Amino acid sequence: MGSITLEHVNKSFGDVQVIPDISLEIRDGEFVVFVGPSGCGKSTLLRLIAGLEDTTRGKILLDGQDFTDAPPARRGLAMVFQSYALYPHMSVRDNIAFPLKMARTPQAEIDRKVEYAARTLNLGNYLDRRPRALSGGQRQRVAIGRAIVREPKAFLFDEPLSNLDAALRVNMRLEITELHQQLKTTMVYVTHDQVEAMTMADRIVVLNAGTVEQFGSPLELYKKPANRFVAGFIGSPKMNFVEGAEAGKHGAHSIGVRPEHFTLSTTPGAGTWAGTVMVAEQLGSDTFLHVQTDLGLVTVRTDGEQTFRHGQALFLTPDPSRIYKFDAAGKAI
Amino acid sequence: MARRVSVQTRIGFTVLAWAVALLLFSPILWTVLTAFKTEAEAIASPPTVLPHSFTLDNFAAVQERSDYIKHAINSIIVSFGSTILGLVIAVPASWAMAFSPTRRTKDVLMWMLSTKMMPAVGVLIPIYLIFRDLRLLDTVHGLTIIMTLINLPIIIWMLYTYFKEIPVDILEAARMDGAELWNEIVHVLVPMAVPGIASTLLLNVILAWNEAFWTITLTSGRAGTLTAFISSFSSPQGLFLAKLSAASLLAIAPILLLGWFSQKQLVRGLTFGAVK
């Protein structure tokens, strides 16, 4: 079991309010990602759940039981840190066994569980090494191993992949997702990378300045963003926003069009927005075009087969069914 | 970028470095040499450098006049006892200040340091009276207590500095792994701080060993340490220069050896965290 409930949680550091008021319900077995720009309070929120920070007001319930004032050691949660936070003076084996030793598990059971975790995470050959003799990816695996042997109510991940190189990050992303499918334990994952959020989460919490902007499945956020912030944050490259008369035509204060929702033409007059290509970023599979129009710089995503050159005239037509409308406060209409 | 240094400059600096080192070392060297001279030769004018008639009589005389072994044992008990007692108090104190600081932590640290700036003689009378009333005068445990109190600020400061170098993430990881406070300190913090703790221990043993003011004023016969032992030889009556040197040599020899064998550890500990 591992449901996590936050009731009107508030956190201030001195006079600075980081989280004004958050209520959330994370279901047992769910993979929930907290995503948002740096300083939005996502790590603080995770640390509140972990018990590493005290709530200023509000309640934190685990499986319906109040754990607001319980120390981290008593909460039965496991955490994987960005810095891995391995014990440098212990071997990999002792690192993984540490939580079991703290729980006074019999030695035979410790050995069995460490072996199992090492096999699952491909660490069998490294058990007697010290953390400093491991690569970044291996260290992260040890940190995960240390978390899984406890069989916690839930796993908390604090930007675990941001210290890894790009290729390894994709690998570890898959491994963590697979691990979740295998264990079916609740996971709460903090990241600033919306690609990680979209690919891993069952549901995403988008945070901004300590408040929840939207809580929903990745496709829900992509298709029905609640406001301009979510619309701009989810999706890569970012959504294009246009204000003024063009938005007025759609009865909105501002409108948004995702880069992938344009049809392109080079024939003069064959498009609603006329512009010239400033930069074409060829990725092979895709091409990102930065087009200067009368409405401003617009990013367009198109397939990788076509070639464009600087200064080329281009006519863009946004897909009318995929135009997002927002009111003056930025709320979706 | 490597700097270009001419051979002359390099030789010049080498000679200068040796000269300064010898100058600093010369009093100790002189003491060592004098310890093996006769009393007459020790005050001879012009002075001799190497002893003409090598003698061990001074050491025998010193041991005969006042019991060296007894004083040495007292020194060992007081210096190690006070340092270990100090560490037991300082580890939790430094842990608290390094990892859960409050707005006043810096002030508390400064206040602790300020007690070291005050001249010891300023509190001599109250401490002497307290010791007299508690019957702690001329006792080894009394001396251990006062030495612990005197060096506690330094122990706390040193440990605080070392603990600050330990990433708090690792302690938090231990908390998440189910470690209660005691286990966090014993299994994670202390093993990681071993180099720092070891150099704190060494430095404070040396400081306590060399402490003279309190050992001389608070002891007489029974609990005297080696510093009291040396001072007992600096009497105005008679010619005792060679015997004083022999006593000094006996008193500093153990700590000199300790420092010699642990210099690597000391340097590592004192520069710990200076370069990451």
Give per-residue pLDDT as tens, A94-142: 999 999 999 999 999 999 999 999 988 888 889 999 999 998 889 999 9
C-alpha angle B96-B100-B101 in degrees, rounded to nearest 5? 95
Task: For residue A78, give how far its alpha carbon lies from the nearest alpha carbon of chain B (Å).
Answer: 6
Chain A residue numbers with beta carbons less than 8 Å from the beta carbon of B170 are 85-88
The pLDDT, as a whole number, for residue A233 is: 93
Query: In this structure, what are the phi and psi dihedrals at residue A75, rounded to the nearest 5 degrees?
Result: -85, -15
Domain finish residue from A232, A259, A290: A232
The pLDDT, as a whole number, for residue B253 is: 87
* Residues A212 and A251 reside in one and the same domain: no
**What's the whole-number average pLDDT of chain B?**
87
The pLDDT, as a whole number, for residue B242 is: 86
Q: What is the C-alpha separation between A291 and A301, in angstroms, rounded?
A: 11
Q: Kindly state whether A203 is in contact with chain B, defined as any CB-CB distance less than 8 angstroms.
A: no
Q: Kindly state whether A70 is in contact with chain B, defined as any CB-CB distance less than 8 angstroms.
A: no
H/E element holding B211? Answer: none
- CATH for B161: 1.10.3720.10
Does residue A333 belong to any structural domain of this protein? no
Which residues constitute the domain of residue B14?
7-58
* Residues B71 and B54 reside in one and the same domain: no
- Over residues B94-114, the pLDDT tens digits come to 999 999 888 899 999 999 988
In the Cβ-directed half-sphere of A274, how many Cα atoms lie within 13 Å?
5
The beta-strand segments (E) located in A118-183 are 154-158
Domain count, chain A: 2
Output the tens digit of pLDDT for each of chain B's 276 residues. Answer: 567 778 899 999 999 999 999 999 999 999 999 999 888 888 888 888 888 888 888 888 888 888 888 899 999 999 999 999 999 999 999 999 999 888 899 999 999 988 888 888 888 999 999 999 999 999 999 999 999 999 999 999 999 998 998 899 999 999 999 999 899 999 999 888 888 888 899 889 989 998 889 998 888 878 888 888 888 877 666 557 888 888 889 888 888 888 888 877 777 666 654 443
| Contact: A85, B179; criterion CB under 8 Å | no
Closest CA to A4 of A76, A52, A53, A56: A76
Q: What is the C-alpha separation between A227 and A221, in angstroms, rounded?
A: 10
Which residues constitute the domain of residue A247?
240-326
Domain finish residue from A232, A265, A292: A232
Number of other CB atoms surrounding residue A264 within 10 Å:
16
| Contact: A85, B170; criterion CB under 8 Å | yes
Q: Kindly state whether A13 is in contact with chain B, defined as any CB-CB distance less than 8 angstroms.
A: no
Are the beta carbons of A162 and A35 closer than 8 angstroms? no
Q: Is A171 left (phi over 0), alpha (psi -120 to 50) or beta?
A: alpha
* Residues B93 and B46 reside in one and the same domain: no
* Residues A199 and A135 reside in one and the same domain: yes
C-alpha angle B64-B67-B68 in degrees, rounded to nearest 5? 105
* Residues B99 and B51 reside in one and the same domain: no
For B179, residues 6+ apart whose C-beta sits below 8 A from its C-beta are: A73, A98, A102, B187, B188
Q: Given the structure tokens 């032992």, which residue do they identify?
A: B229
| Contact: A81, B174; criterion CB under 8 Å | no
Mutate to test the interface with A, among B171, B172, B176, B187 (most CBs of A within 10 A): B176
Query: In this structure, what are the phi and psi dihedrals at residue B88, rounded to the nearest 5 degrees?
Result: -60, -40
Helix then strand then coil, in percent of chain B rounded to 5, is: 75, 0, 25
Closest CA to A330 of A191, A232, A206: A232
- CATH for A300: 2.40.50.140
Low-confidence ranges of chain A (pLDDT < 70): none
- A85 to chain B: closest CA residue: B170
Q: Give the global pTM.
A: 0.81
The pLDDT, as a whole number, for residue B275 is: 43
Collapsing DSSP to helix, strand or coil, A311 comes out as coil
